[in-house]
């Protein structure tokens, strides 16, 4: 029996999280869910987007399946997702991107994983205004790159590649311009690569990498990069396979792991019953693999791919003339288990 924190989230979150729970239960894996609130749903009940009860649950279970969250505008609230990553030191963000048969994407040969440093860089949130009187004349952000943070995420990428039988790690940087921050990250990557002689090591400047991703995505296997670049590149990779609706992510740390769909809460279609559950269900698959339930995780991914390949019972974002919604697609996936 696995004890797991469950955060339904905002907007379409509750619907797609419920779909994921149904699929997990259909595999036969036993889970004791501890349902907690975060985001706007938590503000309405607890007057904070991240209640202490939710944090304590994750500390206790060390594993969380999280729906998309909305950070309230104004009121001085920090991003809930960034706060979770920093609170639990979830230093590695893992986002696979593999082509799906049955989508409209012209790319059919994408099979890569972006591993993004998740706690440092420009997303550390160290910034301020420079004022002349009351006038804001400039703004500064400080990108923090540490040796410890760089070593652990690069080593994570190589260990991931080794465990997944992947052959190459590409480190993406901007060391030609950012001599100190980018230079340190690149230097550490080169040193660690020597410890994994069986894995090819490649390094690319981020702008060239973006171009090559859309021209020759098949040359990439595992990408490891800094926080901001990873955020951008992983969304680009998602576009190659059909969009964020098909993309799951894992946030991994030493003491906890949080699994999520990487898209937003889509409040414009909340309660319409048409949200695509794919990303959330694939996040559940990643979570089960993390928990050692590899057979069930594989069954889920194969079932999702089968439903999309068959092209019949899909949500409208995948098939415009579809008359089906979240629940019908979920049941089709369960039937394919």
Cβ proximity of 138 and 256 under 8 Å: no
| ∠ CA 217-218-221, rounded to 5° | 95
Report H helices in 165-226: 181-193, 206-215
Q: Specify whether 123 is catalytic.
A: yes
Give me the catalytic one of 10, 18, 160, 174. 174
Of 207, 216, 271, 294, the catalytic one is 207
Q: State the chain's maximal CA–CA distance in angstroms.
A: 66
In the residue annotation, 91 being an active-site residue is answered as no
Tell me if residue 231 is catalytic. yes
DSSP of 238-258 = HHHHT-GGG-EEEEE-SS-EE
The one catalytic residue among 18, 123, 160, 221? 123
Q: Round to whole Å and give the CA distance between 287 and 281.
A: 10
Interatomic CA distance for residues 206 and 171, integer angstroms: 9
Residue 75: strand, helix, or coil: coil
Tokens 């990428």 map to which residue? 157
- Cα–Cα dist 307/312, whole Å: 7
Backbone dihedral region of 181: left (phi > 0), alpha (psi from -120 to 50 degrees) or beta? Answer: alpha
77: annotated active-site residue: no
SS3 content of the chain, % helix, strand, coil (to 5): 45, 25, 35
Q: Which residues are catalytic?
A: 123, 174, 207, 231
């Amino acid at each position: 029996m696995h004890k797991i924190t469950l955060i339904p989230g905002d907007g379409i979150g509750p619907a797609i999280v419920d779909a994921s729970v149904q699929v997990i239960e259909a595999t036969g894996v036993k889970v004791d869910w501890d349902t907690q609130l975060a985001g706007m749903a938590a503000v309405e009940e607890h007057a904070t987007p991240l209640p202490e009860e939710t944090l304590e649950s994750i500390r206790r279970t060390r594993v969380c399946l999280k729906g998309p969250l909305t950070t309230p505008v104004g009121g001085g609230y920090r991003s809930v997702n960034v706060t979770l990553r920093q609170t639990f030191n979830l230093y590695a963000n893992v986002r696979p991107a593999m082509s799906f048969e049955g989508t409209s994407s012209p790319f059919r040969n994408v099979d890569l994983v972006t591993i993004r440093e998740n706690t440092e860089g420009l997303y550390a949130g160290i910034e301020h205004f420079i004022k002349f009187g009351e006038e804001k004349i400039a703004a500064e952000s400080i990108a923090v790159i540490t040796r410890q943070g760089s070593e652990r995420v690069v080593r994570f990428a190589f260990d991931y590649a080794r465990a997944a039988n992947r052959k190459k790690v590409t480190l993406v940087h901007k060391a030609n311009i950012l001599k100190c921050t980018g230079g340190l990250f690149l230097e550490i990557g080169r040193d660690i690569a020597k410890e994994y002689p069986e894995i090819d090591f490649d390094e690319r400047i981020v702008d060239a990498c973006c171009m090559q991703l859309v021209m020759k995505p098949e040359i990439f296997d595992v990408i490891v990069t800094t926080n901001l670049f990873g955020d951008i590149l992983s969304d680009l990779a998602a576009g190659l396979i059909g969009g964020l609706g098909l993309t799951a992510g894992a946030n991994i740390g030493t003491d906890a792991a949080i699994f999520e769909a990487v898209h937003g809460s889509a409040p414009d279609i909340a309660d319409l019953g048409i949200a695509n559950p794919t990303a959330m269900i694939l996040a559940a698959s990643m979570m089960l693999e993390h928990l050692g339930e590899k057979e069930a995780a594989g069954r889920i991914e194969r079932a999702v791919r089968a439903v999309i390949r068959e092209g019949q019972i899909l949500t409208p974002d995948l098939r415009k003339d579809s008359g089906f919604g979240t629940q019908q697609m979920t049941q089709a996936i369960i039937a394919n288990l």
